[in-house]
Amino acid sequence: DTGVSQDPRHKITKRGQNVTFRCDPISEHNRLYWYRQTLGQGPEFLTYFQNEAQLEKSRLLSDRFSAERPKGSFSTLEIQRTEQGDSAMYLCASSSGGAGELFFGEGSRLTVL
């Protein structure tokens, strides 16, 4: 069990560019979550999948954000036309269901210049 892995760990981009993050969950976990965290705040829910189905997407999320989980394995989170306000740590977590405990990856830090 290698845990949840995220790539890239750091991304610096210019405003207006598109970025994509990848998350590989713990292999036997069927649920995968994306959260965003800024300094001094708790993780903010973005979206989650059960297998390949996207079950919920935050209403706070603009149409510039899209996530996929093809074949119920890894997931990608794409941000189009990035803005400075998108600068944050993007956290991926997986869960086997159960009580709903989350296992987080190390995160992908995005800086938009």
Partner 1 sequence: QKEVEQNSGPLSVPEGAIASLNCTYSDRGSQSFFWYRQYSGKSPELIMFIYSNGDKEDGRFTAQLNKASQYVSLLIRDSQPSDSATYLCAVMNAGKSTFGDGTTLTVKP
**Residues engaged in binding partner 1 (CB under 8 A):** 31, 33, 35, 40-45, 48, 50, 55-56, 91, 99-107
Minimum Å gap between C-beta 70 and partner 1 is 20
Judged by beta carbon, residue 80 or residue 106, the one nearer partner 1 is 106
Judged by beta carbon, residue 25 or residue 43, the one nearer partner 1 is 43
Judged by beta carbon, residue 15 or residue 111, the one nearer partner 1 is 111
Side-chain-side CA neighbours of 41 within 13 Å: the count stands at 11
Judged by beta carbon, residue 8 or residue 16, the one nearer partner 1 is 8
Strands 31-37 and 19-24: unpaired
Minimum Å gap between C-beta 50 and partner 1 is 7
Q: In the structure encoding, which two tokens stand for residue 112, read together?
A: 């938009």
Minimum Å gap between C-beta 88 and partner 1 is 13
The answer to whether 107 touches 7, Cβ cutoff 8 Å, is: no
Strands 5-7 and 31-37: unpaired
DSSP 1-38: ----EEE-SEEEE-TT--EEEEEE--TT--EEEEEEE-
Minimum Å gap between C-beta 15 and partner 1 is 25
